[in-house]
Amino acid sequence: MTDSPTPTSFPTTDPASAQPGKSYPAHTAQDAAAKAARAAEAQRAWRRTPFDERARLMRAAATVLRARRDELAALMTSEMGKTVADGRAEIEKCASACDHFASHAAGYLARQTVEIPGYKAFVTYNPLGVVLAVMPWNFPFWQVFRFAAPALMAGNGGVLKHASNVPGCALAIESVFKEAGFPEGLFATVLVKSAEVKALIESAHIAAVTLTGSVPAGRSVATTAGSVLKKCVLELGGADAYLVLEDADVAAAAKVCAAARMVNGGQSCIAGKRFIVVRPLRAAFEAAMVEAMRHYEMGDPRDPATKLGPLQSVEARDQIHAQVQESIAKGATLLLGGVLPDRPGAWYPATVLGNVKPGQPAHDDEVFGPVAAVIEAASEQDAIAIANASEFGLGSGVLTRDMARGERIAAEELDAGMSFVNDNVRSDPRMPFGGVKHSGYGRECADFGIREFVNVKSVQVKA
């Protein structure tokens, strides 16, 4: 979490053209500290606000999101290159999360009675205070609302330190809560560099921190939070493995795997990245995967029909191309794509690599772009071993015609926080979201997520 000295502004760049976009004034460290203090003050009153009122305002936020859907989707396109179709779907998902937690927060946080003779005993859930959210650029609205909807419904406040390349999105999120009628200052955006995060975590006005980002960023946040004994939740990288077993429908499996790989142009922690295929199906699967990936053609991200827009930056694109080139130099076979387009902007084609083995970046590292790595396995057990031989453990998948077999492997064998059978991994407000190993710890969404930032308090009253 190191970057340049405190800037005076946050400029944006259109990834499709590499042309400069709008620039936003930066906040000073003093500004950020003042916003955290105001959030803490607002939270002290908010925590006593009844659930019904919190829910009314959260539903109002959902209404604002839907009313501003096209505007907010266009903002994502201009700042980080998301296709307008994906942007509109992301805003709808945020609104759905607001509705879900408005409806279910009171139940998730209801007192739980415990039978202890001679006592009235129960467990109750109290908010912690203000939660600092350090968020990434790839889902600039969803990542934030995934935290904010449950945290605010639990009675907490929020301070958002967003990625530096999406300042307009960051400020727009604050404006959504303001327009919905939430208390002034309860949710605040601070436009500061990562160097300022340490001071915010250490601030007396911040009670806890949540981060979605890289492993190094997670280590940095966890170290600082641990030094001041504050709760943190980390959702970090992923190298999601999909097992294609010998009884799979090859064409159907390839479509699922291509969809998994191409989530957000491949720029997703839960995008499928390693496709582990048992030996008898490898050749047929590679051919089917190439055909499935061909359908993701590069195009204008502002065209609703486009399936693959630019990546978030030219620098990120070049890093992905370097990983592809190194993998090929170390023995991988280029089956599709892998060539830099001769055009301005952060463009990279849908790419498929075969013969991917240990020692290649496509096998060992997280490739954060539209690059599918096909890995051969000798058997089901070998495929499971390859899948689990990773520092990451976020999502995973199993492709098979045998539902009982797929369920067993998904539930019992794969070292991941989430596992899907015959479908691609996705987040859902109704299901816990998170990982193990270097993919982080803690959970978001559902009852598990809303209880991350509360004091689980035991109360006993002697009869």
Supply φ then ψ for residue 426, to 5 degrees.
Answer: -150, 160
Please give the structure tokens belonging to residue 111.
């007192």
Task: Identify the active-site residue in 174, 235, 376, 452.
Answer: 235
CB-CB contact of 190 with 35 (8 Å): yes
Burial of 463 (0-12, 13-18, 19+ CB in 10 A): exposed
Distance of CA 260 to the CA centre of its chain: 14
Task: Identify the active-site residue in 98, 169, 232, 269.
Answer: 269
Considering only CA atoms, which of 349, 354, 351, 350 is closest in space to residue 332?
354
CB-CB contact of 203 with 35 (8 Å): no
Q: How far is residue 385's CA from residue 214's CA, in Å, rounded to a whole number? A: 24
Q: How far is residue 121's CA from residue 406's CA, in Å, rounded to a whole number? A: 42
Please give the structure tokens belonging to residue 461.
């009253």
Read out DSSP for 303-344? STT-SB---S-HHHHHHHHHHHHHHHHTT-EEEE-----SSS
Q: How far is residue 220's CA from residue 222's CA, in Å, rounded to a whole number? A: 6
98 is catalytic: no
Please give the structure tokens belonging to residue 455.
């004091």
235 is catalytic: yes
Q: How far is residue 171's CA from residue 181's CA, in Å, rounded to a whole number? A: 16
Position 315, amino acid: E
Q: How far is residue 187's CA from residue 176's CA, in Å, rounded to a whole number? A: 10
Q: How far is residue 341's CA from residue 347's CA, in Å, rounded to a whole number? A: 7
Q: How far is residue 47's CA from residue 153's CA, in Å, rounded to a whole number? A: 9
Count other Cβ atoms within 10 Å, centred on residue 325. 15
Q: Which residues contact 61 (CB under 8 A, 6 or more apart)?
A: 95, 98, 149, 176, 177, 180, 182
Count other Cβ atoms within 10 Å, centred on residue 300. 14
Residue 279 DSSP symbol? G
Q: Which residues are catalytic?
A: 235, 269
